[in-house]
Structure 1
Amino acid sequence: MNILVAHNYYQQIGGEEQVFLAECNLLESYGHSVYRYILNNDQIETTPPLELLGKTIWNWDVYQEMRSLIRQQNIQIVHFHNTFPLISPSAYYAAKAEGASVVQTFHNYRLLCPNALFLRDGKVCEDCLGKVIPWQGIQHNCYRGSKSASAAVVTMLTTHRLLQTWNRQVNAYIALTDFARDKFIQGGLPVGKVFVKPNFVDPDPGIGEGKGGYALFVGRLSVEKGIDVLLEAWAQLSTKIPLKIVGDGSLASEVNRATQQLRGIEWLGRRPMDEVYKLMQNAQFLIFPSKWYEGLPRTLIESFACGTPVIAANLGAMSSFVTPYETGLHFQLGKADDLVTQVEWAIAHPEQILQMRQNARTEFEIKYTSSESYQQLIKIYEKACIQ
């Protein structure tokens, strides 16, 4: 099968880029011809605002390039990861014009929410869910804290809702969890077009022993990731179990300040994946305090692959991913005191945590391997071709 996989890179490389690359490599390993179409958000800095608005709604250059590439390479499937803002929905029309089937993976909630997170002022917000014109995104400056930038996103969403782009130009959507699928259907997408396929991890890092005697956080240091909750909890926990933090982001200065005030916190910054895997394998458990619904972070799957239980906020994807007292624990969203309670329980029950390690690893082997992901992806492609 000839497959074109398209992705609009973010300025800060993250999980979506990892999934994009991993899925391309996976398809090639099974003998498919994979062509990559990539744009990068670094171009935004040199693009005048009005021109950027136009491209966000409909990028004629991408439309022409995409049609030409599909025609030349006899592409059968065009699989999109992120199209915002430079690839634009015009790429869907290009694919359909050339007779290719269109698949779109949802890594966030951009189609339903201008800031893509269902998060405002540090709390879950669904004000724009189901609205043809998500005007409240402009009212609250939801995208990048800017009214003009928010207006650009809302204009793009409204234009393509009125054109029925999301219903007519895409053959199949991939949601990463049942929770996400339900949200997109609630937002108006056709039930029969939204399928669930989680992310995967390959190569398999292997199970660890968890004997490092520390808790671990891996991720972006930003508001939506619940860094404030993490640090507040460790103000009470630092003498009971050390915390290692891997990652970087806008709240790096606050994390650095916490390391100076609390002896039990160590900030390691960005680390190569082989080091991250070793840290996961040796961690007693992973902490995941995110404040937004999430898609399905690779960090969670990587933790299970390493046999490391997860203590996560009871919200969105995390609610179904972690089974309490089997593969990890839940704490109340945004409640540092409850996170403290769950960590203290984990410390006091080493035998149960040991069993959770095996359960987490088993969950990975059943649901999140490359072979399982490939089988699911091909079935979705087949369904897309007959939509």
Structure 2
Amino acid sequence: MKILVVAHRFPPKHQTGAELYSWRLARRLRKEGHEIVVFAADDDLMRRNYSVRTSDVDGLPVIEVQNHRLHRSFEETYIDPRMEAAFVDVLRNVRPDLVHFQHLLHHSVRYPRIAREAGIPSVLTLHEYWLLCGRNGQMQQGDGSNCERPSLDTCARCLCTFMWARQKIDLWMLRGLASVAKLTGVDLKAQARKLRLRRLVNTDPQSLSEEEIEFMRGQLLLREASVRDMFEMVDAVIAPSPSLRARFLEFGLDEESVILHDYGTDLKPFRNLTRVPRGEKLRVGFMGSVQPVKGVHLLVQAMADLEGLPIEATIHGDLSSKPEYVRALRKQLTPSVNLAGKIPSTAVPRFLSELDVLVVPSTWWENSPLVIHEAFAAGVPVVCSGMGGMADLVKDGVSGLHFETGNADDLAAQLRRLVEEPGLLERLVAGIPEIEDIRRDARFHSKLFEAVLLHHEELAAENDIEDLALDF
């Protein structure tokens, strides 16, 4: 089967959860005998907006379109006619049997309709809440407070204070700064971002006019209608976590149409992994994006509270994306915390083998964090925020411990338990569940794709459609 995979970003340049999973699943599906082509968006500011380039990533043909997010309206954040034109070209040239939409951020929610009208079935995987939340899909307001569910008035106020587009002056400025950084090594992006935020965004929701809020309410109703139409166009929807699935059922999706199926993990690097025995100190780790929403500051604060106890922490993640945040973290560091920077994916199993516990302190809902899957694959229990997809994966007191989201004192209390309670760590290790292998995950997708394609062909036969091949 020829499958077109649509992703918002793709490795090797982009290496966060959804991108890595899309890449790993695509590689495994190719090994299962499918022909895979990837269509992704990118944001290389030194390339022309909407220009197309092709590359090869581990044998996967990847078609990338530059989308610099120079949106002329809020509508273009989810319906982008020029990205749609690129998608039509890809469908015409690739002629896939099926499209797997991994993410439509930076693309257009009308892609599934375009595919349906071209006679091509599609499957959509949900990775977070972008289809419900226009603010990065995190169901979190500008002040960091979490939303239980979308609310028209709350969302309108929130998005009035959100910088959802760039202007051309931003593009020119960022290109200039990139050139300066290349020539001098001096990175001024953080300072430029502060100026840009002051210029473009009213960050005080209380000072918004009723006209601004009412306008955004109307925009959100249009967005919701477009998203609902998109769901009508896909043939199957996959939700990796119960929490994520529940949110979309609340949105109105039919229970039978949303398949609960968690991510698979490449377990090969974890086979025959030799665990490094615990020493005198409890070894705590963090892996992920070093930014506020990931709660790294909570771990740093908790470790400060535990100073003097036999415990140490290593934090791995990109330290360049949020320089102001990293500077604030450095000011709070105690000798027991090592801010270690990026870790290559090939080094992850070894790093985990040297830990006693992994901390996932995210302040937003999350979906099904890959880092928890990898920790469990390495036999490492997890201390996490007790909400969303994290709580779905980590059973409190069984395979890890929960702490109150955003509460560094409670995180410190849970880590203290691991230091002081005899046998607790061993019980948590024994409670770690089996993790889905990426090979079995790929076979699940193969069967689903085959069923969707068969159903599509049966419908075509019932409607006496002789040929559903592309005809643009």
TM-score (norm 1): 0.87
Asked whether the 8 Å contact 1:27–1:34 carries over to 2, the reply is yes
Asked whether the 8 Å contact 2:383–2:400 carries over to 1, the reply is yes
Match for residue 6 of structure 1?
6
Match for residue 332 of structure 2?
258
Rounded to whole Å, the distance in 1 between the matches of 2:163 and 2:355 is 36
Displacement of 1:342: 1.2
Are 2:122 and 1:102 equivalent residues in the alignment? yes
Match for residue 340 of structure 2?
268
Match of 2:360 among 244, 266, 288: 288
Match for residue 35 of structure 1?
37
Change (3 A) 1:45 1:136: farther
Match for residue 334 of structure 1?
406
1:124 partner SS: coil
Match of 1:218 among 278, 283, 287: 287
Rounded to whole Å, the distance in 2 between the matches of 1:7 and 1:226 is 26
Change (3 A) 1:100 1:125: same
Asked whether the 8 Å contact 1:174–1:196 carries over to 2, the reply is yes
- What is the aligned residue count? 379
Match of 1:183 among 247, 263, 275: 247
Match of 1:80 among 96, 101, 106: 101
Are 2:448 and 1:380 equivalent residues in the alignment? yes
Change (3 A) 1:133 1:242: closer
| Aligned 1:182-261 pairs, distance under 5 A | 182-206=246-270, 207-211=273-277, 213-240=282-309, 241-248=311-318, 249-250=321-322, 251-259=325-333
Displacement of 1:352: 3.6
Asked whether the 8 Å contact 2:301–2:332 carries over to 1, the reply is no
Mean alpha-carbon deviation: is it higher for 279-288 or for 9-18?
A: 9-18
Displacement of 1:167: 3.0
Rounded to whole Å, the distance in 1 between the matches of 2:383 and 2:27 is 31
Change (3 A) 1:142 1:125: farther
Match of 1:363 among 431, 434, 443: 434
Displacement of 1:324: 2.1
Rounded to whole Å, the distance in 1 between the matches of 2:39 and 2:153 is 30
Change (3 A) 1:136 1:59: same
Match for residue 87 of structure 2?
66
Match for residue 207 of structure 2?
none
Displacement of 1:79: 0.8
Displacement of 1:281: 1.0
Mean alpha-carbon deviation: is it higher for 338-347 or for 135-144?
A: 135-144
User: Deviation per CA, 1:306-343, whole angstroms, max 9, x where unpaired?
Assistant: 10000111101111211122211111222222212211
Change (3 A) 1:223 1:169: same
Match for residue 16 of structure 1?
18
Give the partner amino acid of 2:331: R
Mean alpha-carbon deviation: is it higher for 189-198 or for 53-62?
A: 53-62
Displacement of 1:104: 1.5
Change (3 A) 1:191 1:208: same
Rounded to whole Å, the distance in 2 between the matches of 1:352 and 1:236 is 21
2:33 partner SS: coil
Rounded to whole Å, the distance in 1 between the matches of 2:450 and 2:257 is 12
Displacement of 1:133: 10
Change (3 A) 1:45 1:143: farther
Give the partner amino acid of 2:246: D
1:202 partner SS: coil
Rounded to whole Å, the distance in 1 between the matches of 2:438 and 2:149 is 37
Match of 2:415 among 343, 358, 369: 343
Which structure has the greater CA radius of gyration?
A: 2
Asked whether the 8 Å contact 1:312–1:330 carries over to 2, the reply is yes
Displacement of 1:155: 7.7
Asked whether the 8 Å contact 1:176–1:197 carries over to 2, the reply is yes
Displacement of 1:33: 0.8
1:79 partner SS: strand
Match for residue 111 of structure 1?
131
- Unpaired runs of at least 5, structure 1: none
TM-score (norm 2): 0.72
Rounded to whole Å, the distance in 2 between the matches of 1:88 and 1:381 is 22
User: Deviation per CA, 1:7-35, whole angstroms, max 9, x where unpaired?
Assistant: 12288641121111111101101001111
Displacement of 1:62: 3.6
Displacement of 1:290: 0.9
Identity of aligned residues (%): 22
Give the partner amino acid of 1:308: V
Match for residue 128 of structure 1?
150
Change (3 A) 1:162 1:96: same
Mean alpha-carbon deviation: is it higher for 94-103 or for 311-320?
A: 94-103
1:268 partner SS: strand
Change (3 A) 1:381 1:138: same
Are 2:361 and 1:317 equivalent residues in the alignment? no
2:119 partner SS: coil
1:214 partner SS: strand
1:295 partner SS: coil
Rounded to whole Å, the distance in 1 between the matches of 2:216 and 2:444 is 32
Displacement of 1:68: 4.2
User: Deviation per CA, 1:162-195, whole angstroms, max 9, x where unpaired?
Assistant: 2442332122222110111001111222323211
Match of 1:161 among 224, 231, 241: 224
Are 2:246 and 1:174 equivalent residues in the alignment? no
